[in-house]
Amino acid sequence: MDIKILGKGCAKCLKLEAMTRETLAALGRTADVTHVTDVAEIVSYSVMSTPALVIDGVVKVEGHMPRREELAAWLTPAQR
């Protein structure tokens, strides 16, 4: 699983990254998690506001923090 956190490094972006890593650990899952701060790369995902979460190339959320339950569902293979 390839996960990208899109954002320039604001508090919410950092919180989304931490929450994603914590949720992965709680689920016993591993993934490549990358924090993308390059504006051109962020725009390449057609994201207009951050934080944003991309899982395997699909934007799951942008502009707000997901609920932990939503995040856990996205990180569970059967739910993706």
Residues 52 and 65: beta-carbon distance below 8 Å:
no
Residues 42 and 50: beta-carbon distance below 8 Å:
yes
42-74: pLDDT as tens digits: 999 999 999 999 999 999 999 999 999 999 999
What is d(CA 52, CA 7) in angstroms, rounded to the nearest whole number? 7
Q: Is the pTM of this model over 0.75?
A: yes
1-48: pLDDT as tens digits: 999 999 998 999 999 999 999 999 999 999 999 999 999 999 999 999
- Neighbouring C-beta atoms of residue 53, cutoff 10 Å: 27
Asked if the model's pLDDT at residue 79 lies above 60, the reply is no
Q: Band of the pLDDT at 77, cuts 50, 70, 90? A: confident
What the chain holds in terms of domains, given with CATH numbers, is 2-70 (3.40.30.10)
